[in-house]
Homo-oligomer: A and B are copies of this chain.
Amino acid sequence: MIAVNYRVIYGDTDCGGVMYYGTYLRLFEIGRTEFLRAKGLSYREIEEKRGIILPVVEVWAKYRASAKYDDLLTIKTYLKEAKSYKITFFYEIYRSEELLAEGETSHVAISKEGKILRIPKDILDLLSL
């Protein structure tokens, strides 16, 4: 599990007074990017140097309590599954000890031309460390 902090800005919230439900998907993105970086993998390098894109094919999120403006949140990212055809991350969004939301994203690997690829073994190995 990799944890990163995130400070909620005005632009993340909506007129309901809380963080917009779509903003959580930005936080999930921050979480998985830093998860990869912590494992020695740069998503930018995977794309630029190896020509592999890992698009999201499925997402879900459950919202348990609201994040508010200026809250300091913690994004916890877990590897749920790393197979040759699919990677799944699991996320929890906390404010101190309170779980505000959780979710999952699943990713496949494609080439820049859109062809589905096997996820390289060295990436799967690093993710699972």
Chain A contacts to B: CB under 8 angstroms: 7, 9-11, 13-18, 20-23, 25-26, 29-30, 33, 42-44, 53, 55-63, 66, 68-70, 105
A-B complex: 7 closest residue pairs judged by Cβ atoms: A22-B25, A60-B60, A13-B15, A44-B70, A21-B56, A11-B26, A10-B14
Q: When the two chains form the complex, which single residue of B53, B57, B69 contacts A44, counting CB atoms closer than 8 Å?
A: B69
Q: Chain B contacts of A44 at CB under 8 A?
A: 69-70
Q: Are A11 and B20 also in contact (CB < 8 A) when A42-B70, A55-B63 are?
A: yes
A15-B15, A18-B55 known; 5 other A-B pairs, CB under 8 Å?
A7-B33, A9-B26, A15-B17, A22-B25, A59-B61
Q: Chain B contacts of A17 at CB under 8 A?
A: 15, 17
| CB-based contact B58/A62 at 8 Å | yes
* Cα(A16)–Cα(B14), bound, Å: 8
Closest B residue to A58 by beta carbon equals: B62
Q: When the two chains form the complex, which single residue of B29, B61, B66, B105 contacts A11, counting CB atoms closer than 8 Å?
A: B29
Q: Are A9 and B33 also in contact (CB < 8 A) when A16-B53, A16-B55, A59-B60 are?
A: yes
| CB-based contact B10/A20 at 8 Å | yes
| From A10, A56, A105, residue with most partner B Cβ within 10 Å | A10
